[in-house]
Structure 1
């Protein structure tokens, strides 16, 4: 009989939790355990601090960096943390640019880098993946096996943060979120208890981990279902920006979202601007899960006339590694998101052109006097098929409805100077806030469908956005209840960053 979460917690208090008060986690681990602890003077500390996408996160210096190699070592670390009041952070790949989400100043940082297993059962396609893996390294480890996993779209992304946020993939129309294919979580609770969480053992916790972030414990490994895959077709199309190109590309991505019937085909449509070398362009990411692309699949984009085309047949591992060019080195990065219903073709200009013009107007101001700024907006199809595929695979906290085609927007500003952080925070709020206002106005005017559930995508969320408030009320209530059951003392609620239910 599987014990309840309440029973697990009470047993841990009686037999596991120590009654000693520790001075600080870093010193105690150094003196009482063999767990790897790196201080600021060490090479491993300096190297790990460089593994953030945003330099604002790297500037937050932890007291030490802890590198557990097993769930048992994670358990020891959390047991000690539970006995003091230090703020701490847990880091997978460091791709989330929100300060204090996977970074911390003056407290311990738990790096999952050594939790890096990729163990495939070639007969079933089930693979156990550690949160210290990244998408490109996982794809490389599976290269040649005939199996692939449902990961994200940028190779350098950490597995841990991607999956806990849901994870949007090129293969989502086939298999749902990245989290949809998780069969089992090896989870370490705040009190040090190690649980095997499945749909049958702890169904509410299992669901909450799919889109609930870091509110329930530390995942030491994921058992996921992989899928058969050979070579794929992928690459980028590049277009010089003109008003005419804007109109044609926005129409193309709108039409692709509604009319594409091939679940193996996927696109990301991105507008990019920078004052570094006066770039103003469109960069499209094309993906087809197969070596032979049916004629016409991407013709509404290729017919516009790209000035460059890198798309070709390649391995999935090669495409994941190739995608890392998008990371802007030595920059402060901010990312935000919004979800919009797909407008009809008749309302394309009044809705999508309006939103894109808003982004261009806001970003134009930053291009004038913010050094090294790169502004981008990505229009990402979220057709009904993705929501249905996710529901078919596994329940999740996001619980997207398969009733209306939607688009997920990713808004990104990167820049050089910490002195511009507050200004760019305001700029970001004005950008996504203006899009949200336009969605509501267009709905009120009948140009967009009303009464549509529009959750935010956690992996792109800005720290000022309220992720849990945009979920269905019952999903938020479930997350809050489950977090209270597994962490009644509020270790993750009160002492780590991230969105809280």
Structure 2
């Protein structure tokens, strides 16, 4: 009997050993000098507040790890590879999808200390750490004569932007943000530090351009920067009316088709909220240079904005001046749809009476939700963006240059986390209605049949990102993921879309 009880006790002790070692936070604290913040420390609290959505902040990691080098990231992943903890990796925290860059009960790897920006002023080749945000990156490059092909909101993190592709004001000139990457430094699931470029690990190089967080932790982006001086940009604000809807939607449709100046870019957004019954249009205009050729933006300025902040400024000032769109303390949901550009003849049926009317109907049904801010952004995706991306190499998005398109982003922000399920239904109703209409119009011959991917940077977690890519690109991503992470650590233990 004593022998049986002793054996049982020993079995219990042995079975407990994996549980002890499964605690990545404790093991890192005990065996390394890597900074590990517990839930009672200020650095933990501060980092948890750096999310665009309060639902991500509400998820509580067991600790937050702040590596300073690729070697320290490798040490973290080697420990994670010995256990089964869920984890997340965070750049800027701008993905509002829960678990994409946030985690509950497992370790969070914050890249904020990997914020290096090392520029070769002669060639414009720049090494960029994933801990940078676009406003900080633009500030570090200010005065060098070079710039990074980044997004449009300064608070956006570099890591999530590039791994999702990255749509930029400069995309018609240079393609996606990822199109300017020359080489990735990446730490694989087993702790191996390697690189991916067109000549070394070329399949991984392609998979990282639009493949998200499925292959490892990128610790450095070596990019080709591009010449940059002062720019012209700012906002036009309009009070909403049915006639303004028609004029602005026609203007952005026409701009997408007819603009031939790759330095010019626009984002056209409609906003409505139950605070003071605001119902307006806010337009973002950009020109890559201080002098705008006459007529470039006349279709927009001639409509008669009530506010015009357009001016010559530095790119760093433009980036810093965009952060007002980030609503701190709100729950945020973002979704997207890609549509073929309607012809001038049927733009009213498609854009005005179809897409925009559907958004107004659904968003109008949310106006009793506390703190609601509903918005929709119409973003030109002309052929030139697809062609510019292809000229700079292969990527997973692989958009064809056979059609002009629009990328539509829809955003619901609200105060109470208890309204998440309700608003999730509204988000799905919004983008689902767009998709149903596009497919019907294509069947009726009113819209061009063309490839319409879901743009990762704006995707809602329920959208089928991989199913909307070309099958051969999804197959490539699956092969690469299985090759670099055969145990599936990044595919099964952290959030995001999985190939």
- The TM-score with structure 2 as length reference comes to 0.96
Contact persistence 2:207–2:395 (CA under 8 A): yes
1:388-407 to 2 correspondences below 5 Å = 388-407=387-406
Q: How many pairs align?
A: 481
Find the partner of 1:488 among 470, 486, 497.
486
1:293-332 to 2 correspondences below 5 Å = 293-332=292-331
Contact persistence 2:22–2:85 (CA under 8 A): no
The CA deviation string for residues 66-105 of structure 1, in whole angstroms up to 9 with x for no partner, is 0000000000000000000000000000000000000000
The aligned residue for residue 471 of structure 1 is 469
In 1, Cα distance between equivalents of 2:161 and 2:197: 19
In 2, Cα distance between equivalents of 1:166 and 1:311: 28
- The TM-score with structure 1 as length reference comes to 0.95
Contact persistence 2:22–2:84 (CA under 8 A): no
The CA deviation string for residues 280-317 of structure 1, in whole angstroms up to 9 with x for no partner, is 00000000000000000000000000000001000000
The aligned residue for residue 364 of structure 1 is 364
Cα shift at 1:20: 12
Contact persistence 1:93–1:157 (CA under 8 A): yes
Which one has the largest radius of gyration? 2
The aligned residue for residue 13 of structure 1 is none
| Unmatched runs of 5 consecutive residues or more in structure 2 | 1-17
In 1, Cα distance between equivalents of 2:164 and 2:386: 15
In 1, Cα distance between equivalents of 2:268 and 2:118: 34
The CA deviation string for residues 124-162 of structure 1, in whole angstroms up to 9 with x for no partner, is 000000000000000000000000010000000000000
Cα shift at 1:21: 7.9
The CA deviation string for residues 242-282 of structure 1, in whole angstroms up to 9 with x for no partner, is 00000000000000000000000000000000001211000
Q: Tell me whether 1:428 sits opposite 2:427 in the alignment.
A: yes
1:75-114 to 2 correspondences below 5 Å = 75-114=74-113
Contact persistence 1:231–1:313 (CA under 8 A): yes
The aligned residue for residue 454 of structure 1 is 452
1:88-487 to 2 correspondences below 5 Å = 88-353=87-352, 354-367=354-367, 369-450=368-449, 452-487=450-485
Cα shift at 1:428: 0.2
Cα shift at 1:426: 0.3
In 1, Cα distance between equivalents of 2:276 and 2:113: 39
Contact persistence 1:21–1:84 (CA under 8 A): no
1:60-71 to 2 correspondences below 5 Å = 60-71=59-70
In 2, Cα distance between equivalents of 1:439 and 1:229: 38
Superposition RMSD in Å: 0.9
In 2, Cα distance between equivalents of 1:252 and 1:478: 39
Cα shift at 1:446: 1.0
Cα shift at 1:329: 1.6
In 1, Cα distance between equivalents of 2:413 and 2:148: 30
In 2, Cα distance between equivalents of 1:23 and 1:499: 25
In 1, Cα distance between equivalents of 2:20 and 2:47: 29
Q: Tell me whether 1:498 sits opposite 2:496 in the alignment.
A: yes
In 2, Cα distance between equivalents of 1:98 and 1:461: 9
List, as ranges, runs of 4+ consecutive aligned residues in structure 1 with deviation greater than 4 Å: none
Equivalent position SS for 2:322:
helix
In 2, Cα distance between equivalents of 1:27 and 1:106: 13
Contact persistence 2:236–2:309 (CA under 8 A): yes
The aligned residue for residue 37 of structure 2 is 38
In 2, Cα distance between equivalents of 1:51 and 1:21: 30
In 1, Cα distance between equivalents of 2:399 and 2:445: 22
Equivalent position SS for 1:136:
helix
Contact persistence 2:370–2:415 (CA under 8 A): yes
Query: CA 1:117/1:356 → structure 2, altered by over 3 Å: closer, same or farther?
Result: same
Equivalent position SS for 2:221:
strand
The CA deviation string for residues 394-418 of structure 1, in whole angstroms up to 9 with x for no partner, is 2101000000000000000000001
In 2, Cα distance between equivalents of 1:20 and 1:459: 36
Cα shift at 1:23: 3.2
| Unmatched runs of 5 consecutive residues or more in structure 1 | 1-18
In 2, Cα distance between equivalents of 1:23 and 1:417: 34
Contact persistence 2:22–2:82 (CA under 8 A): no
The CA deviation string for residues 36-90 of structure 1, in whole angstroms up to 9 with x for no partner, is 0000100000000000000000000100000000000000000000000000000
Contact persistence 1:268–1:284 (CA under 8 A): yes
Cα shift at 1:235: 0.0
